[in-house]
Structure 1
Amino acid sequence: MQSHTPVPYQLCYCSICRKQQGGGGYAINLGADARTLKVEGKEHLGLYRARIEDDEHETCEVSSGERRFCRLCGSALWLYDPTWPDLIHPFASAIDSPLPVPPSRVHLMLKYKADWVEPGIGPDDAAFDLYPEKSIEEWHKDAGVWVA
C-alpha cells in the first residue's frame, strides 16, 4: 500500500476506535491510496460497520465506514468509507514495517474518551473535542513529512 501520509500522528479516542483497537483507549489511523491496497487471504476478512449514536439528538445510524479485521486473529486492519473512494485508512497497529515517528500528535474525539483514559498530550500536541482543524494531508505537509 502506498501513502503520502505515513506518519502515525492522530490518536482517535471515539468509542468505535477505542473498542475496536483496545489498548491505550485510542486508535491511530493512517491515510493511504485505496487503489494500492493488495490483500492476500481475503477469505479471512471480516467486516464491521459501527452503529453511531448521536447523544444530542437521540438517534442511531449505521456508519458508511467499513472496518475490516482478520477473522483468524481478530486484528483490526483498516477503515474504508465509500464516501471517499480514493482513501483507505490502515490502523498503525496492523502495520509490521517501520513507521516514522511523528514530530507531534493530534488527539481527536476527546469528547468521547473513556473516563479511565488519561491522554498523554505533549507540549507540541494539538487536542480536539471532535475533529482536528487540518486534514491528514495538510498536517503532513505542514509538518514537513509529506511523501511525494
Structure 2
Amino acid sequence: MLLEGSCHCRAVRFSVESHEPYPFMRCYCSICRKTAGGGGYAINLGADFHTLKVTGRRSLGVYRARMGDADDAETSTGQRHFCKRCGSALWLFDPTWPDLVHPHASAIDTPLPAPPHTTHMMLGSKVGWAQAEKRAGDACFDEYPDESLAAWHERHGLHDT
C-alpha cells in the first residue's frame, strides 16, 4: 500500500510503500510517548525504507534519544524525524534495520485500514492517565515478544505480499 504523509504545516511531505499498513501497535515507552504520543502512546507503522520519498528535507530535523538519565547516557541509534517548523513527528529510522522505516500513523494522510486487534507494548513505561483499553483479541507485546510487524500481519491474515 502506498502511504502518503505530511507534517501539520505541510512543509515536509513523504510517501512510502508498506506491506503492513494496519496501525496496530501502541507503544507506551517514554521516548515514543513524549515525542509523538498525544494519547499517551505512539502508533508506528512498518514500511520499506528504500521506497521513502521526501520533499521539504530542509525542514526536517532528527532527534536521537538518550537512553537513561546519567550525563554519560548512551544515545539511541534510532533517528526520529520531525518537522523543524511545526514539530510534527514523522518517522523513525534506525540503521540497525536498514530496510525498515517506521512512519508515525499520526503523520499519514492516506486513509489507513482499521486493525482488527491492537498490541500494547512497553506498558511498564505507561503513565497513569493513559488508558490501555484492551478489546477482545488484543495482546500485550509480552505475549508475542519476538513477533515482527510482518508476523503480526501474517498471523491476522493481513499481510500484503
TM-score by length of 1: 0.92
Q: CA deviation at 1:72?
A: 1.3
1:60-91 CA distance string (max 9 Å, x none) = 31100000001111110000000000000000
Q: What letter matches 2:90 in structure 1?
A: L
Equivalent position SS for 1:23: coil
Counterpart contact for 1:52–1:62, Cα < 8 Å: yes
Q: How many residues align?
A: 145
Q: What letter matches 2:107 in structure 1?
A: A
1:103 aligns with 2:116: yes
Aligned Cα root-mean-square deviation (Å): 1.9
TM-score by length of 2: 0.85
Looking at secondary structure, tell me which structure has more strand per residue. Answer: 2
User: Which moved further from structure 2: 14-23 or 127-136?
Assistant: 127-136
Flag structure 2 segments of 5+ consecutive residues without an equivalent: 1-15
Q: What letter matches 2:116 in structure 1?
A: P
1:23 aligns with 2:63: no
Q: CA deviation at 1:52?
A: 1.2
Equivalent position SS for 1:137: helix
Corresponding residue for 1:43? Answer: 58
Q: What letter matches 2:19 in structure 1?
A: H
Task: Extract structure 1 runs of 4+ deviating beyond 3 A.
Answer: 128-133
1:6-25 CA distance string (max 9 Å, x none) = 11000000000000113110
In structure 2, relative to structure 1, the CA distance for the partners of 1:69 and 1:50 (3 Å cut) is same
Q: What letter matches 1:80 in structure 2?
A: F
Identity %: 57
Q: In 1, Cα distance between the equivalents of 2:89 and 2:68?
A: 21
Corresponding residue for 1:63? Answer: 76
Q: CA deviation at 1:130?
A: 9.8
Q: CA deviation at 1:132?
A: 3.5
User: Which moved further from structure 2: 81-90 or 127-136?
Assistant: 127-136
**1:1-148 correspondence runs (5 A):** 1-53=16-68, 60-128=73-141, 132-148=145-161
In structure 2, relative to structure 1, the CA distance for the partners of 1:42 and 1:134 (3 Å cut) is same
Q: In 2, Cα distance between the equivalents of 1:129 and 1:25?
A: 19
Flag structure 1 segments of 5+ consecutive residues without an equivalent: none
Q: What letter matches 2:82 in structure 1?
A: F
